[in-house]
Structure 1
Amino acid sequence: MATALILLAAGQGTRMNSDLPKVLHPIGNAPMFAHALASGAALDPARTVVVVGHGGDLVAREAHKIDEDILIARQDEQLGTAHAVLQTKEALDGFEGDVFILYGDTPFVSEDTILRMAEARRTHDVVVLGFEAADPGRYGRLVMVGDKLTRIVEYKDATEAERAITLCNSGLVAADANVLFDLLDQVGNDNAAGEYYLPDIIEIAWKSGWTATAVSCAETETLGVNTRAELARADGIFQAAKRAEAMENGVTLMAPETVFFSLDTYLGRDAVIEPNVIFGPGVTVESTARIRAFSHLEGCHVSMGSTVGPFARLRPGAELANNAHIGNFVEVKNAQIGEGTKVNHLSYIGDADIGDGTNIGAGTITCNYDGVFKHRTTVGRDAFIGSNTMLVAPVTVGHEAMTASGSVITSDVPNGALAIGRAKQVNKPMLAVRMFEKLKSLKAKKQKGQ
């Protein structure tokens, strides 16, 4: 059975007190709606439609960064959740199969829960996701008769007996596409807000002879994000889950509470992560690699047996081959670091290709930017770059070549050659002593004049 996802992401989120659309606020360095899309991907949907409203162009742009095939529907007037879903009718024209409705501000519904909803769809026309609330408060209640869901009643409209129900509505729905849009067409707005509410489809389904049921999940999966405080709490929940997952998968976290992940962080088994490490988006660390304390990684790939840090920064495009060493206060950006190569101290390697087995001395800088264009540096295998070398790109240093410490390299260095690019040293006897005596005399006169 084909499936489609509808992600509702049109709300302004006024309680966030932000110019940014609510669903673009990050959890794990990804827009919160990306988490819901990631869970929904377990269904391998044939179509995905994101409903946008406030800041719609921004939301659409971020959605297309995740998947350029995502369809966009617009809800220009905020007339309720049923109205929002109806805006997808054109995007889903001709679709035959199941439709799953997710929410951009409900990021933690698991893949397993969505798959259980799909299983329940085999025997019921409409499936709603519920949860057992510790404090039901003003959540809508799911009224069940056996395994049949007869209606969803809002707290203000519920009887005392219905308010005693603890199975509450998360808002997520799965239904056959044709059934769903038939039900939506029958939803009215005869309520105080004059809006069209998605939960109303359950009672309409029951009266129309369609069957509905509910699947239950843990309350933590249905956490919604509406305020900055809830956003911080959500990120904390995400980080705790990612740390637990990493350790379960065989990663050593020496101080788990100090390590911060992104949604797409991948760590291989037997990797070791020391304290105070931050993983930005797009990081892969392979098995047996070690990330030492106070390092920051983003958009990079660290291969097996490599070490990074302490106090290192890997920026987007950094690619480390097996057993490479990136040491303290080293920054690497858009550069290939060869197998067994060492960049151990106080260096910047940007827009470069460094061969296998090469040693980059302390203080080496690839001078890659001329103020307008970026240029590339190439260093061959088994080369030795002396400390405090300036490699002025575009430039190539050959295999087994060497640069003398303190050199400024502006021309290519052939294989096996030694390049010296510095002024000849000249010593002036006793000049330092005389200069200091003069300076001290001037300082004394100045102080006396004051």
Structure 2
Amino acid sequence: MAAVDVVIMAAGKGTRMKSKLPKVLHRLADRALLAHVVDTASTLKPRRVVVITGHGATEVEAAITRHSGAKADFDLGFARQEPQLGTGHAVQQALPHLDDEAVVVVLSGDVPLTQGDTLQALVDACGGENLALLTLALDNPSGYGRIVRGPDDAVLAIVEQKDATEAQRRIQEIYSGIMAVPVARLRPWLARLDNQNAQAEYYLTDIVKMAVADGVRVVAHKISDELQVAGVNSPVQLAELERAYQRRRAHALMEQGVRLADPARFDVRGSLQCGQDVFIDVNCVFEGQVTLGEGVRIGANCVIANASIAAGAVIHPFTHIDGEKAGVSVGQGALIGPFARLRPGAQLGDEVHIGNFVEVKNSTLAKGAKANHLAYLGDATVGERVNYGAGSITANYDGANKHRTVIGDDVHVGSNCVLIAPIKLGAGGTVGGGSTLTKDTPAGALSVARGRQVSIPDWQRPVKGAK
């Protein structure tokens, strides 16, 4: 089997997007359109991927280099197309990067949802010898190049819409813009292209006629899934493709047994792995890498990113979890929210309760610990069965450095307490409400640090306007 090179055309401006951002960097499921294409191309295990850039070239090249980074197992290269004189001219710019012994797959940077197995079937159809085209029959083929076949059903040419006759415009089979062709055959064909057409551009599709003239077999791999070849040219099309993509993700999860309250109000912008009997309510967004264990319930309007949530946990509505690079983990049977916030490094044990308007950052809470109302735990180690009162905070930052708070097992922290780190609270101790602690406390002790209560009899409040 011949080696595979991939060329991705990403030079266009995308005028109809009405945006300063290059079209291929607009995001679908929180990834750039071009990133989707590169990731799919990588499933072919290519020797090299060449991205043809033009409009916003510096920005596009930097973004896709960051996306691929060190993880890429192929050589990532770029070719500039300036000015943009058509698809044939674009691929001409990539020729110096291609190996004559390889098969090149040509993709478009604004067609993000082609599947890897479809591309592999196209490469197989090429077989290192043929010109293979990815085609599709559309009820409304307007705007696409038409596949012209001969009496024996062999592909003879692709005719662009603006150059097509009335009879040709009635053809429903269209060219998707995706092809696979041996580089050794492609190179002389590209050298023979001209721009004698309605657009005065160099059409890559003209190589079909050259292949036929040279006796090279032109084959069409015809699919029925329109979504795989759908491109993005406007914000409307981007939004439509986003919903189509999310609908497919939703259906795939439901087929695995996940219960979605409404698959039309569900967004995955990364990887979501679910155990058995997971339930997800409406308007939830999952980003990065998220794992939901068996029987997990996610309430409405939650945003969850880079987190692992163990079996039986319940995430109540309007909870925001974002583990970023450090991650967040939630133990079995834990109850989180509503309106809770878990930040990077929050590690919650089994049966932990985090209630409304509680924020946890870079802290470990052991089994059964509870912080049910209006509290902050940052840079803390919290023992088992701790009860952390409403309005209490760990004061972990001294203006220059972060310090840690350690709370032993079975400690009860009253409401409106300030624990000034670094500090350790001994196991079984109690902190009186309203205390501001600056020193370690012994195990089993009641610790109170607040001003003496004073009552002044017959005190009069100031009167408005009095001098």
* Same fold at TM > 0.5: yes
| Correspondence 1:392 to 2:399 | no
Output aligned runs, 1:311-326, within 5 Å.
311-315=318-322, 316=324, 317-323=326-332, 324-326=334-336
| Correspondence 1:244 to 2:244 | no
Output aligned runs, 1:211-290, within 5 Å.
211-218=217-224, 219-290=226-297
Gaps of 5+ in 1: 368-375
**2:90 — aligned with what?**
84
CA RMSD of aligned residues (A): 2.7
Against the structure 1 CA distance between its residues 66 and 398, is the aligned structure 2 distance closer, same or farther, given a 3 Å change threshold? same
**SS of 1:59 mapped into structure 2:** helix
**Given that residues 318 and 332 in structure 1 are in contact (C-alpha distance below 8 angstroms), is that contact kept between their aligned partners in structure 2?**
no
| Correspondence 1:139 to 2:144 | yes
Output aligned runs, 1:25-104, within 5 Å.
25-68=26-69, 69=72, 70-92=76-98, 94=99, 96-104=101-109
Shift of 1:107: 1.9
Shift of 1:172: 0.6
**2:400 — aligned with what?**
none
Name the CA distance, whole Å, in 2 between partners of 1:164 and 1:379: 71
**SS of 1:256 mapped into structure 2:** coil
Name the CA distance, whole Å, in 2 between partners of 1:75 and 1:303: 50
Shift of 1:80: 1.3
Gaps of 5+ in 2: 397-402, 437-448
Against the structure 1 CA distance between its residues 83 and 401, is the aligned structure 2 distance closer, same or farther, given a 3 Å change threshold? farther
**SS of 1:87 mapped into structure 2:** helix
Normalising by structure 1, report the TM-score. 0.87
| Correspondence 1:205 to 2:193 | no
| Correspondence 1:180 to 2:186 | yes
Q: Deviations 1:215-249 (Å, cap 9, x if unpaired)?
A: 12233332221111112211121222222122112
Against the structure 1 CA distance between its residues 124 and 268, is the aligned structure 2 distance closer, same or farther, given a 3 Å change threshold? farther
**2:343 — aligned with what?**
333
**2:440 — aligned with what?**
none
Task: Tell me whether 60-69 or 230-239 shows the greater mean CA deviation.
Answer: 60-69
Name the CA distance, whole Å, in 1 between partners of 2:199 and 2:162: 13
**1:416 — aligned with what?**
427
Q: Which amino acid aligns with 2:89?
A: H
Q: Which amino acid aligns with 1:88?
A: A
**SS of 1:360 mapped into structure 2:** strand
Name the CA distance, whole Å, in 2 between partners of 1:52 and 1:303: 44
Against the structure 1 CA distance between its residues 155 and 311, is the aligned structure 2 distance closer, same or farther, given a 3 Å change threshold? closer
**1:373 — aligned with what?**
none
Normalising by structure 2, report the TM-score. 0.84
**SS of 2:424 mapped into structure 1:** coil
Against the structure 1 CA distance between its residues 400 and 187, is the aligned structure 2 distance closer, same or farther, given a 3 Å change threshold? same
Name the CA distance, whole Å, in 1 between partners of 2:292 and 2:33: 24
Shift of 1:7: 1.6
Name the CA distance, whole Å, in 2 between partners of 1:357 and 1:3: 55
**2:119 — aligned with what?**
114
Shift of 1:197: 1.3
Against the structure 1 CA distance between its residues 330 and 56, is the aligned structure 2 distance closer, same or farther, given a 3 Å change threshold? same
Shift of 1:198: 0.9
Against the structure 1 CA distance between its residues 138 and 334, is the aligned structure 2 distance closer, same or farther, given a 3 Å change threshold? closer
Number of matched residues?
Answer: 432
Q: 1:304 aligns with which of 293, 308, 311?
A: 311
Name the CA distance, whole Å, in 2 between partners of 1:322 and 1:5: 44
Against the structure 1 CA distance between its residues 299 and 127, is the aligned structure 2 distance closer, same or farther, given a 3 Å change threshold? same
Task: Tell me whether 325-334 or 293-302 shows the greater mean CA deviation.
Answer: 293-302
Name the CA distance, whole Å, in 2 between partners of 1:427 and 1:138: 81
**1:372 — aligned with what?**
none
Name the CA distance, whole Å, in 2 between partners of 1:55 and 1:284: 37
Against the structure 1 CA distance between its residues 234 and 388, is the aligned structure 2 distance closer, same or farther, given a 3 Å change threshold? same
Shift of 1:277: 1.3
Kindly report structure 1 stretches of 4+ aligned residues shifted beyond 6 Å: none
Shift of 1:414: 5.2
Name the CA distance, whole Å, in 2 between partners of 1:60 and 1:131: 31
Against the structure 1 CA distance between its residues 399 and 74, is the aligned structure 2 distance closer, same or farther, given a 3 Å change threshold? farther
Against the structure 1 CA distance between its residues 296 and 48, is the aligned structure 2 distance closer, same or farther, given a 3 Å change threshold? same
Shift of 1:149: 1.7
**SS of 2:240 mapped into structure 1:** helix
Shift of 1:109: 2.2
State the percentage of identical aligned residues: 28
